[in-house]
Every structure is written in structure tokens, then in C-alpha cells.
Amino acid sequence: MLSDDTARSRGLRIGMLGGGFMGRVHSRAARSAGAALDTVASSRPERSAQAAAELGFETAASADDLLARSFDAVHICTPNDVHAAQSLRALDAGSNIICEKPLATDSHDARAVAARAAEVGLRGTVPFVYRYHPMVREARARFREGQAGTLLTVDAGYLQDWLLGSGDENWRVDSDQGGPSRAFADIGSHLVDLIEFIVDDRISSLVATTRTVHPRRGGTAVTTEDTVAVTIEFSGGAIGSLLVSQLAPGRKNGLTVEIAGTEASMRFEQERPEQLWFGRRTDSRLLVRDPDSLSADAARLCMVPAGHPQGYQDAFNAFVADSYAHFAGERPEGLPTLRDGLRAVLVTEAVLRSVRERSWVDVESLTV
Ligand code: SOE
């Protein structure tokens, strides 16, 4: 079971950019890892003051003020358009970074962040936190051991409904702040990261189609996609499909990944993270999160015994604890780094390119 991570990160000084939903999740995780919540800056002074009071930080006069100072780590939970610039400034000031996805709104900037971290000898991670559910680690371990055989197909989706209505608004809808892709960059990126993490293979080419169901929201023209369907091919020869939507009524955070190999299938559902479905031709069963029966990597992430549910914030806490361990020189298994952030941006760009060209495209390979 998870060792006491708090000891190794106790006293780390944290700067927090952003006080919204994700800033709160990051702050809870930082506190759970024993870090000192030092300074927060949000979009406006009154929001910074509110976040500081609620979360237990001091307030910076502005994001610029915070970025001029050096911390053990800066968490970047701001709108997508400023991720890369803020990451570069934090690295230049001597801070490690935990930057929300997408790491940047294009691969040029994402590459620049990864390169700068290497240049200045600092580190960064990107919260593809669904990797931190023990049953995801179990699926990965079983796949690695060959229990599923050779990968044949992947059937995956990520469905939400919080942008269902034309009146539903958020900064992510505005491409100036959200970037050229919305649904895919925001949640399709999680899906791709999780699939590639479990099957240890890369999507090599794809063909995608998107729809912008509401061309206007609250009087503003919308250019980014609400829904995306993608057919994918893997380097190893398997094929699959991805469905991503932020307009699926009743689906709150429905991320599902089902893989089928020559020997067995496995299915993980993010809203039921304590289970993994494992099926063979002759039998199938639901595996439960019992640390005594799981692989070492899955058992490592079990915080409480079987029958005591763990969830999203627990996964986030474990990711942040591992990020801090990485900043201290360790190499935690399966930690998503800046390279993984760049990878997600490259797949997102391939999706946009395919839609533009209405054809199959190759996904650019990672070069850092
Ligand atoms: C909103 O779509 C969002 O909060 C994402 O930004 C998160 O990454 C995802 O985990 C839940 O949904």
C-alpha cells in the first residue's frame, strides 16, 4: 500500500496559479502530500483573495508577481492559452512545474516547454491522473505480462454533459483561451494517454470527424468542437475507435477503455474505478481493488484496504505525491511528464489536421 509520501514532500513550497475547480483539486493534493501551500494567484485580485482564504495560501499581487519568484513547484491551473508561457516563466525562475493539460495549445510551444525544462535542469509533469487508479495499473500489469495476448482492438470513449445546452459557457469554449481544440484537447487527451499507457503502444495514424453542435453560446461564436469521433491505428497493428463528447446527456465523466487481445479483454470505467472487467472466451469476471491480489504497481497505489472506495481525488493525490518525488530526483513508475503532455498535443493536432483535410493522417512522432 502507498507509503507515507508526506515525509518526502513535507516543507516543499508551492505556488498555485488558478483558484477554480482544478486549482482546488491540486491544492488538496499538495496539502495531502505535506507541501506548504505558499502563494496563490487567480484571474482577478478578488478571486485570488477568495482562493487564498479558502485554500490556505498567501495571495500574490498577480500571476506575474508569483512567476517572478522561485518555488519548489508551481502548479499551473489557468486557461490553456497561458499554460506554455507560464510554464516557461516558472522554469526560468527556478521552479519545477505541474502544468494542467493541454501543456500548450500547439506542439511548437509544448516542445519549447519540454526543452526548457531540460536546459535548466528542472522537471515537469502533466496531470493525466486516471493513470493513478490502481485498477488501471492492474490492467497495464496484466497486459504487460501477456495475459491479454496480442492487442487486436480498442473501444474507448469519454462522455460528459456539462456543455450540453447552448447557454452552457466556460472559458474553454472560447478558442482564444481554450485553444484550437476543445473537447479533444480537454478530455480526448486523457483518453489517448490512458489507452497508450495501458497497452504500451502508440496511435500511429487516425481519421477524425468533429461537430460543433452549438455554433453560438451566449452570443459568442464558437469555433471549437463539441463532439469528436476518431478511427485509430496503432504502431503494433491494432485498430480502434474513440468517441469524445461534452454533450452526452446524463454522462458526467464517463471515460471507458475496453481493450481486446488474442487471449483476453479488459474494460475500465472511470466512474467505477474500483473495478476492472477481465474477460476470456470461457469466463469473465469483475476484479475488485484488493491490494492483496493486485500487481505490485497497483497495490502501491492502494491507500485503503479493499471495500473502502478510493476515487478521483485519491488518484490526484497520488499523482502529486509522485510529481514531488520526481522533483526530488526519484523516477516513480508511470508518472506522466512533459513528454506525455507533448504527446497529447501531437495527437490533438493530428485530429485537427485530419478534420481539416478530411483524410487519414499520421501522428507526428515524439522527438524530445
Ligand atoms: C472538464 O472537462 C474537466 O474538468 C477536465 O478538464 C478534467 O481534466 C477532467 O478530468 C474532468 O473534466
Q: Is the CB of 253 under 6 A from ligand 1?
A: yes
Residue 247: CB partners within 8 Å, gap ≥ 6?
161, 163, 164, 213, 226, 227
For residue 184, give the amino acid letter.
F
CA–CA separation, 265 and 226 (whole Å): 30
| Domain definitions of the chain by residue range | 13-122, 132-309+337-361
Helix and strand counts by DSSP (H, E) for the chain: 13, 17
What's the angle, vertex CA 303, arms to CA 302 and CA 308, rounded to 5?
A: 90
Interval between CA 146 and ligand 1 midpoint (Å): 32
% of the chain exceeding 90 in pLDDT: 94
**Predicted pLDDT of residue 2:** 47
Q: Which atom of ligand 1 is nearest to the CA of 129?
A: 10
The SS3 of residue 257 is strand
Choosing from 253, 270, 312, 314 the residue with most ligand 1 atoms within 8 A of its CB, the one to mutate for a pocket test is 253
Cβ atoms of residues 126 and 338 within 8 Å: yes
For residue 163, give the amino acid letter.
L
Which CATH class for the 13-122 domain?
Answer: alpha beta
**Predicted pLDDT of residue 11:** 84
Average pLDDT, the chain: 96
Cβ atoms of residues 309 and 274 within 8 Å: yes
Q: How many residues does the chain have?
A: 368
Give this prediction's pTM: 0.96
The SS3 of residue 13 is strand
**Predicted pLDDT of residue 5:** 53
Q: Could you report the per-residue pLDDT of 53-75, keeping only the tens digit for each?
A: 999 999 999 999 999 999 999 99
**Helix (H) or strand (E) segment spanning residue 223:** none
CA–CA separation, 71 and 12 (whole Å): 8
ipTM of the complex in this document: 0.93
Choosing from 182, 186, 312 the residue with most ligand 1 atoms within 8 A of its CB, the one to mutate for a pocket test is 186
CATH number of 132-309+337-361: 3.30.360.10
Interval between CA 149 and ligand 1 midpoint (Å): 32
Q: Could you report the per-residue pLDDT of 297-343, keeping only the tens digit for each?
A: 999 999 999 999 999 999 999 999 999 999 999 999 999 999 999 99
Q: Could you report the per-residue pLDDT of 11-69, keeping only the tens digit for each?
A: 899 999 999 999 999 999 999 999 999 999 998 899 999 999 999 999 999 999 999 99
Interval between CA 22 and ligand 1 midpoint (Å): 8
What is the mean predicted confidence (pLDDT) over 105-111? Answer: 98
